[in-house]
Amino acid sequence: MSDNLRLTLRVWRQAGPNVRGGFETYQIDSISTDASFLEMLDVLNEQLVTEGKDPVAFESDCREGICGTCGCVVDGMAHGPEMGTTVCQLHMRVFRDGQTITIEPFRAKAFPIIKDLVVDRDAYDRIQAAGGYNSVNCGNAPDANSILVGKDDASDAFDAAACIGCGACAAACKNGAAMLFVGAKVGHLSMLPQGQPERQQRAIRMVTQMDEEGFGSCTNTLECEAACPKEISTKWIQRLNSEFMRASTTSRHH
Ligand code: FES
């Protein structure tokens, strides 16, 4: 059965990239516990527009936990308090009536704020474009069983492929490191036969681009894994380190 919540929202408002931002406080009533977090923000925005105020800018696309655009920080946690859940899949039933909720954008040097809760996450796209693909001509889609992949490798590759590139890992990390994202992307293709031809250059190019984007270094605090809405394991960071090491050593000798 759904109940209605009365909430106080502290929302980060910032009109643009180069202006000073700050928290503003809003009261919002009659939010159904069945509503999603983004539906709650929609209601807030209708209220703000009715009052002649600027609505809160936030991003969303799929609202199904797939596209990775909706990330923001809710009560100090990237994507909010529920484990393994994107903001768009977060439901208001996890909040209490009368609660104050603080909502901020992802904060990482490599993700500059565009407006309010919207940050520029193009740095992840540029890392992906640097090597997170296959450029070999694979021809038409082959029969499913024509290239055999062992069950363990297929499952591991699938786990890494679940990364939606939302940026929560870098936002949750005190160093602003992107290692979990890059580890998942490099690791995914490293597990599959299709990823072998470009395996070494992929690791080097993606790590080099990551460094150029200004992401910090990993110091194994594991906040990234805790914040990841797809529960990507930090074992992919270890794998990234060994992929990069092997690729650097090999390319030095050849
Ligand atoms: S809107 Fe697509 S993951 Fe949240």
Question: Tokens 């704020």 sit at which residue?
Answer: 113
Nearest-CA residue for atom 3 of ligand 1: 65
Same domain for 70 and 28: yes
Note the pLDDT of residue 147: 81
Q: Which residues contact 81 (CB under 8 A, 6 or more apart)?
A: 74, 75, 90, 94
In the prediction, which pLDDT does 253 show? Answer: 44
Q: Is the CB of 229 under 6 A from ligand 1?
A: no
Cβ of 162 less than 6 Å from ligand 1: no
Domain boundary, last residue among 91, 114, 137: 114
- Same domain assignment for residues 144 and 225: yes
Ligand 1 site-directed mutation target among 37, 64, 230, most atoms within 8 Å of CB: 64
Residue 70, ligand 1, Cβ within 6 A: yes
Domain total in the chain: 2
Let me know whether 191 and 109 are in one domain.
Answer: no
Count the alpha carbons within 13 Å of 166 in the hemisphere toward its beta carbon.
38
Q: What is the pTM of this model?
A: 0.93
The last residue of one of the domains, among 114, 149, 176, is 114
The series of mean pLDDT values per 10 residues for the chain, 254 residues long, is: 90 97 97 97 98 98 96 97 97 97 96 98 97 81 80 95 98 97 97 92 97 95 97 97 93 53
User: Could you tell me which of 35, 25, 105 has the C-alpha nearest to residue 72?
Assistant: 105
> What is the extent of the structural domain holding 22?
4-114
User: For the domain that residue 83 is a member of, what is the CATH number?
Assistant: 3.10.20.30
Whole-number pLDDT of residue 252: 55
